[in-house]
Every structure is written in C-alpha cells, then in structure tokens.
Amino acid sequence: MKLIRYGEPGAEKPGLIAPDGMRRCLAAVIDDLAGENLSPDVFARLATLDHEALPVVDQDARWGPPVGRIGTFMCIGLNYADHAAETGAQVPAEPVLFMKSTGAVCGAFDDVIIPPGSQKSDWEVELGVVIGTRASYVSEEHALDHVAGYCVVNDLSERAYQLEGTGQWVKGKSCDTFGPIGPWLVTKDEVPDPQSLGLWLEVDGHRYQNGNTSTMVFGVAHLVSYISRHMTLRPGDVISTGTPPGVGLGQNPQVFLKPGQEMRLGIDRVGEQRQRTVDGATLRKA
C-alpha cells in the first residue's frame, strides 16, 4: 500500500492511493497515520478494505508528510563511502547519528524556505525508514520486523550552519522546511529489499545525485539494530539513512541552492518529490 496524509499543515487526514490511482480518505477508519496506527495489525486491516469504495480526496489537496506526530527524526551521516570522500571525511567505523528537528518536517511538494542570510543551503536525497513497532535492543536479523515502511526524504542542510563556526549538525539540518517527507509511506511488503534501490536528485533539470542503496556503508537492518541499542525506537519514528554523492558541497566549484529553483528527487519503488525554493528573508518581512 501507499499511505498518505493530506490537507493543510496541522490538520492533515489519513488516506491511501487506491488501485485506480486516486487519493482516497481513511478518516472513517483511523484517526491518523501515526503511532500505533503504523502497526502490522492496523496495516493488515487497511489492506482488506475495498480501497476503491473509500471517499475520493480532493485531488488538489496538499500532500502532507505521510507520518504524523513524529517523535524522533534520526539521521545518519556519511553513510555512503563516495559521499564521505566528496566531503573530505573518512568512512565512519560505526553509524554517525544526529537528529533533525521535527519542526523541519513538511510535505513532498511544499516550498523549501532558504533561511535569511543562508549562503550554503544544500540538498540530500535519502531513503527514509518509518518504525512501526517498538524496537529496543533488537538484533539485526529481526530489525526489519519493526519497520512499517519507507519514504523519500530530502535531508536539506545549511552547510555553514552545520560545519563552520561551532559546527553543529543539528543546527544546520533543522531549519523550517528542511525535511520534506513523502509523498507517501510505502509499506514494507512493497520494498522486499531496501538495499537495491536507485535514488537520484536534480536541481533545475540538472542531475547531481544518482546512486543506489546497495552502496550504503551500513544497511537498513544494521541501522535499526544499532540505533535500538542506544535508544528505544517507537512507532512513527523516522530514520533518514544517508545520501549518495552529488551534494552541492561536493561540487567543484561548490554549488548551493538559491531562491527560485526547483528540486526533483526520487527513489525506485518509493516515490518522487518536487520542491520550489523560496526566499526566507522575503517571507519574514511579509
């Protein structure tokens, strides 16, 4: 299944993509795609519904992030060896963990705000992993049992905030709209092997990133197991698993986002996003 949330920010409703390709409403069945509603039992019940009998959603409605009430937005740094090389970093001996503010979360087609004064806003296409059941000290063998599904994440970064001055990754990753997720949550059964997915990103039609999850340093099962040994993962938590090479920071000369550009990105089997960049300074004055 492809599960969605739609509507204005803060008032999203749950839904799905029916076999006829239409967005259909699930609000009469579940209150949201969040928390315990991401469990295997709930997904099994949703799968038995007559999807084409569900109410049709206004097809012009905003696409919201497909997971609500995200508790932890965990990210993995330098998880592709060739991306580490382009940034001048060593391949890590174990996963590099950092968190992104959940305030950065937005929909797959929402505008991305370039922060006032930003000179080094950058892109990163990543496979997102959504937790469906509580995971604490789980083995790698059973780690994927705790995964509800997958989504596309654009892990945007302001490199000066991240790496210069005091060099705080969370600060450089957490600006408003720096975490587009979606457009849908693809349930785990539709992605039998998360380590064989092509992923790509373009800016204004130029393809900068073109990679495959097969080249991750640490695969999805390892990441879920590793993180669960350091903190409990709960339903609705999201893990953004790292990006392949081709970020703006790694270009020669470096290239960064400016207002008025368009990003397109996607992952095989998982979906595609599109965002327009807008000037945060202008919005702040409005």
| Omega within 30 of 0 (cis) for the link into 253 | yes
Q: Which residue(s) pair with 141 in the sheet? A: none
- Is residue 86 situated within a structural domain? yes
d(CA 193, CA 102): 27
Q: Which CA distances in Å does 78 have to 1, 66, 132?
A: 31, 26, 25
Q: Which helix (H) or strand (E) segment is 99 a member of?
A: strand 96-99
pLDDT of the residue at 284:
59
Are 66 and 159 spatial neighbours (Cβ–Cβ below 8 Å)? no
pLDDT of the residue at 272:
98
- Is residue 38 situated within a structural domain? no
- Mind listing the pLDDT tens digit of every residue in the chain (286 residues)? 999 999 999 999 999 999 999 999 999 999 999 999 999 999 999 999 999 999 999 989 999 999 999 999 999 999 998 787 787 778 889 999 999 999 999 999 999 999 999 999 999 999 999 999 999 999 999 999 999 999 999 999 999 999 998 878 889 999 999 999 999 999 999 999 999 999 999 999 999 999 999 999 999 999 999 999 999 999 999 999 999 999 999 999 999 999 999 999 999 999 999 999 999 988 855 4
Q: Which CA distances in Å does 262 have to 60, 151, 222?
A: 20, 20, 34
Q: Please give the model's pTM, rounded to 2 decimal places.
A: 0.96
User: Helical H runs in the chain?
Assistant: 40-48, 81-86, 159-163, 169-173, 220-228, 280-285
- Is residue 210 situated within a structural domain? yes
pLDDT of the residue at 285:
54
- Is residue 10 situated within a structural domain? no
d(CA 152, CA 129): 9
Per the structure, the complete domain to which residue 261 belongs is given by 67-285
d(CA 68, CA 50): 24
Report the CATH number at residue 157: 3.90.850.10
- Is residue 46 situated within a structural domain? no
- Is residue 222 situated within a structural domain? yes
- Is residue 109 situated within a structural domain? yes
- Is residue 55 situated within a structural domain? no
Are 146 and 224 spatial neighbours (Cβ–Cβ below 8 Å)? yes
pLDDT of the residue at 286:
46
pLDDT of the residue at 165:
81
Q: What's the number of domains the chain is made of?
A: 1
Q: Which residue(s) pair with 279 in the sheet? A: 114
Q: Which residue in 263, 215, 284, 269 sits closest to 108, CA to CA?
A: 263
User: Helical H runs in 166-234?
Assistant: 169-173, 220-228
pLDDT of the residue at 242:
97
Q: Are strands 185-187 and 63-64 parallel, antiparallel or unpaired?
A: unpaired
